[in-house]
């Protein structure tokens, strides 16, 4: 029996987790992107986008089309693929929007193949979507969106991803203000060199974060998301950053930083109840101080990553 059509959901991700620039990322449950892919007789890719925004490219410039084409060119199956990307996620949000599209796309195409690649083998295609979107094949959004959980990119050359075993998940609060920050620009403004003192501070936090995540120590996780290298530079791109962070901490968050390249911000909470209060306080601050509307997402760690919503055989 062969798979004729699949519907795949790939979740949003919080990359960096503060101190772990390009190294850490966690999958959350919502939002996410959906891809529907089906086999066609004629070879190659037929691609279209369903989106409320007209700015999402519907051509090969779209990351989903790009990574699907790369996978099809390598595998050369005796059929083609018709793909519709249901672009639900906001672009330039710091929620791993391009990663979700790329991941949903490669997982969907892979599911149609007679001889499927392992999930991990799909990573190298998905990172190409990030290269197209931001000029850099960073893996800290695609890895957790594809594999689930918290992923640690131990090495880029060769690409080596470690999934952190977690005893207990913190509750992640993610607040997305309605402003756009382009990842490429947010990367270009970062320093090329950093003082050793700062590096020491940061790798202390990154190591502490690993232990905190493994032990389910919410206080330690919060302490260790502190980012002394990237956040001071990128926070300038986020309206009301200081006030929003302060509101999160005053509401009981154990830590707060930028989600990915921003403008979304995330905070670490003990419980859903507390997370709701933190989210509300952060969102209020965005509105009060910057006059900016925002969405609040509350989620424990999504350990599944991309999932099959529907599979049709034929
Ligand atoms: N690690 C990447 C960055 C994530 O911070 O630029 C982008 O979502």
The rounded Å distance from CA 86 to ligand 1 centre is: 23
**pLDDT above 70 coverage of the chain, percent:** 99
The CA distance from 214 to 56, in Å, is: 38
Closest residue by Cα to atom 1, ligand 1, is 22
Q: What is the pLDDT of residue 1?
A: 74
* Tokens read off for 281: 């306080």
Based on the residue annotation, tell me whether 254 is a catalytic residue of this protein: no
The strand pair at 24-40 and 80-86 is best described as antiparallel
Tokens 């959980």 — which residue?
A: 149
Ligand 1 close to Cβ of residue 111 (< 6 A): no
With a cut of 80, say whether residue 294 has pLDDT above it.
Answer: yes
Active site residue: 3, 7, 183, 254, which one? 183
The rounded Å distance from CA 182 to ligand 1 centre is: 10
The rounded Å distance from CA 23 to ligand 1 centre is: 9
The rounded Å distance from CA 71 to ligand 1 centre is: 24
Mutate to test the pocket of ligand 1, among 28, 134, 139, 237 (most ligand atoms within 8 A of CB): 134
Q: Which among 149, 87, 99, 150 is positioned nearest to 123, based on CA atoms?
A: 99
**DSSP SS3 for 301:** coil
Q: What is the pLDDT of residue 259?
A: 98
Ligand 1 close to Cβ of residue 15 (< 6 A): yes
Per-chain mean pLDDT for the chain: 96
Q: What is the pLDDT of residue 34?
A: 98
Q: Which atom of ligand 1 is nearest to the CA of 21?
A: 1
CB 299 within 8 A of CB 12: no
What are the tens digits of pLDDT across the range 55-110?
677 676 899 999 999 999 999 999 999 999 999 999 999 999 999 999 999 999 99
Ligand 1 close to Cβ of residue 261 (< 6 A): yes
Tokens 């060199």 — which residue?
A: 193
Ligand 1 close to Cβ of residue 19 (< 6 A): no
How many angstroms separate the first and last alpha carbons of the chain? Answer: 6
With a cut of 90, say whether residue 227 has pLDDT above it.
Answer: yes
With a cut of 90, say whether residue 255 has pLDDT above it.
Answer: yes
* Tokens read off for 87: 């672009």
Q: What is the pLDDT of residue 9?
A: 98
pLDDT (average), residues 208-222: 98
Helices 123-134 + 63-75 axis angle, to 10: 140
CB 18 within 8 A of CB 231: yes
Q: Which atom of ligand 1 is nearest to the CA of 22?
A: 1
The CA distance from 28 to 148, in Å, is: 8
- 158-186 core/surface letters (b: 16 or more CB in 10 A; e: else): eeebebbebeebbbbbbbbbebebebeeb
Count of beta carbons in the 10 Å neighbourhood of residue 216: 13
Looking at the chain, list the stretches that DSSP marks H as alpha helix, in order from N- to C-terminal side: 63-75, 97-112, 123-134, 142-147, 183-188, 196-215, 218-224, 231-234, 241-250, 272-290
Ligand 1 close to Cβ of residue 97 (< 6 A): no
Count helices and strands (H / E) in the chain: 10, 11
Q: What is the pTM of this model?
A: 0.97
Based on the residue annotation, tell me whether 183 is a catalytic residue of this protein: yes
| Torsion (CA) 220, 223, 224, 230 in degrees, nearest 10 | 170
Active site residue: 38, 130, 226, 231, which one? 130
152 backbone dihedrals φ, ψ, rounded to 5°: -115, 120
The CA distance from 285 to 275, in Å, is: 15
Ligand 1 close to Cβ of residue 96 (< 6 A): yes
Question: What string of DSSP letters covers 181-247?
Answer: --HHHHHHTS-S---HHHHHHHHHHHHHHHHHHHHT-HHHHHHHT--SSSHHHHGGGSTTHHHHHHH
Closest residue by Cα to atom 4, ligand 1, is 260
CA 269 to chain centre: 19
Tokens 């402003």 — which residue?
A: 179
Mutate to test the pocket of ligand 1, among 12, 14, 15 (most ligand atoms within 8 A of CB): 15
The CA distance from 287 to 117, in Å, is: 46
């Amino acid at each position: 029996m062969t798979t004729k059509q699949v519907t795949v959901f790939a979740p949003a991700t919080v990359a960096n987790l503060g101190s772990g620039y390009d190294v850490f990322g966690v999958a959350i449950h919502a939002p996410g992107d959906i891809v529907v892919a089906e086999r066609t007789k004629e070879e190659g890719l037929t691609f279209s986008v369903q989106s409320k925004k007209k700015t999402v490219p519907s051509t090969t410039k779209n990351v989903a089309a790009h990574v699907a084409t790369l996978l099809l060119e390598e595998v050369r199956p005796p059929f083609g693929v018709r793909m519709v990307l249901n672009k639900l996620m906001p672009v330039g949000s710091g929620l791993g929007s391009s990663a979700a599209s790329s991941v949903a796309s490669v997982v969907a195409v892979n599911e149609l193949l007679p001889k499927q690649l392992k999930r991990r083998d799909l990573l190298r295609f998905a990172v190409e979507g990030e290269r197209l979107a931001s000029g850099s094949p960073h893996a800290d959004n695609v890895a957790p969106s594809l594999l689930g959980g918290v992923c640690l990119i131990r090495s880029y050359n060769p690409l080596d991803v470690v999934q952190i075993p977690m005893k207990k998940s913190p509750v992640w609060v993610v607040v997305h203000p309605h402003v756009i920050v382009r990842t490429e620009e947010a990367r270009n403004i970062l320093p090329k060199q950093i003082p050793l003192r700062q590096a020491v501070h940061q790798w202390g936090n990154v190591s502490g974060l690993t232990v905190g995540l493994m032990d389910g120590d919410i206080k330690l996780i919060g302490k260790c998301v502190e980012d002394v290298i990237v956040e001071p530079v990128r926070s300038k791109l986020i309206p009301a950053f200081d006030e929003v962070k302060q509101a999160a901490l005053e509401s009981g968050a154990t830590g707060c930083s930028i989600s990915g390249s921003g403008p979304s911000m995330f905070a670490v909470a003990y419980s859903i109840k507390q997370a709701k209060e933190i989210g509300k306080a952060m969102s209020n601050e965005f509105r009060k101080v910057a006059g900016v509307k925002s969405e609040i997402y509350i989620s424990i760690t999504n350990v599944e990553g991309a999932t099959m919503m529907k599979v049709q055989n034929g």
